[in-house]
Structure 1
C-alpha cells in the first residue's frame, strides 16, 4: 500500500511539471504533435536538475511519513524503511540521471514515454539494471497515450 501511495503522489507531482510543457510546446516532428521528449529537451540544464530535486524532495517527504507511521517500529527499522523507500524513487548523481534521460529521448521511438517513466528507466540504467523490456512496454504505453490525446484533440 505504501508504494502505491508514493507512486500516486510522485505521478501527481510529475503531471504538474509535464502537462504545461506539453501543451505549450509543439513538437518539431513531422506530425506536429507535442511529445514528452520535446518537453524534456526544451528544459534547460538548470530546469532538469530542479525537476530531479523536486522529485527527491517529494520522495523524501512521502517516505518520511510512511516510515514514521509504522507502529511499534524501532528507530533503526524506521531508518531502514525510509532508506529503502527513498532509494527506490529518488535519483543519485543528478548529472548521470539527466544524461540517461537525454539518451533515452535521443531515440525518437521513445518520444512518447512520459517523463516519469523516462525518469524511472534512467534510475534503473544508472543502477545497472536491465531495462530493454521496460522500454518496449513504456513505448507501447506512450503510443496509447498519444492515441488518447489525438482522440481528445479531435473531439474538441
Structure 2
C-alpha cells in the first residue's frame, strides 16, 4: 500500500470517528486524542467493524483456495479470522486505552494500536513493534504538518 493510501486511511479514521484533524491544528491532532474521545459504544463499534472486515476478507481468501477440503477451509478461515479479530473486546479496549495513555504512542494509528492491543491480549511481546509504530506515527505526523503548511 502506498504512503498516500495509508495517510488517506489514517485521515479517514480520524474524520469518521470525530477526529480532531479538521478542527485543530496538525500538531494537536493525534490518534490517541481521537481514541480517547470515543465513547465506549464507539470503541465497541470500531472493534465490531474490524471483526466484520476480517470476516469478509477471510471468507474471500478462504474461498479462493479451491483445493481445500471443507475442514481445511474452516481451519483456514478460523486461523485468518482469529489472527485479525479480537475475541475479548473489553480486554482489547483496555489494552488500547493503556497504550494511548503513554503520550509517546499518541501518533500510532488506531488500526496499529488495535493490532498491538490484540497481540498484548494474546500474550505476545510487543515492545519492538511499539517502537517501530512510534517511528511510523512520527513520520505520519511530519507528513500531516507538511501538508497542513502547504494548505495554508
Q: Which TM-score bucket, shorter chain as reference?
A: 0.7 to 0.9
Which residue of 11, 14, 17 maps to 1:18? 14
For residues 62 and 15 of structure 1, do their structure 2 counterparts lie closer, same or farther at Cα, with a shift above 3 Å needed? farther
TM-score computed with the length of structure 1 as normaliser: 0.85
| Pairing of 1:107-126 with structure 2 (within 5 A) | 107-126=102-121
Give the whole-Å Cα distance in 1 for the aligned partners of 2:27 and 2:11.
Answer: 22
- 1:14 is displaced (CA, Å) by 6.8
CA distance in 1, matches of 2:11, 2:89: 20
| Equivalent-residue separation in structure 1 for 2:125 and 2:116 (angstroms) | 9
Q: Which runs of 5+ in 1 are unaligned?
A: 5-10
Paired residues in the alignment total: 144
- Which residue is 1:36 aligned to? 31
Structure 2 matches for 1:1-156, cutoff 5 A? Answer: 16-20=12-16, 21-24=19-22, 26=24, 32-156=27-151
Change (3 A) 1:83 1:15: farther
Question: Within 2, Cα distance between the matches of 1:81 and 1:141?
Answer: 31
Equivalent residues of 2:10, 2:109 under 8 A apart: no
CA distance in 2, matches of 1:126, 1:106: 17
TM-score, normalized by length of structure 2?
Answer: 0.87
The verdict on how the C-alpha distance between 1:14 and 1:34 changes in structure 2, with shifts beyond 3 A counting, is closer
CA drift at 1:73? 1.0
Distance between the aligned counterparts of 2:23 and 2:98, measured in 1? 20
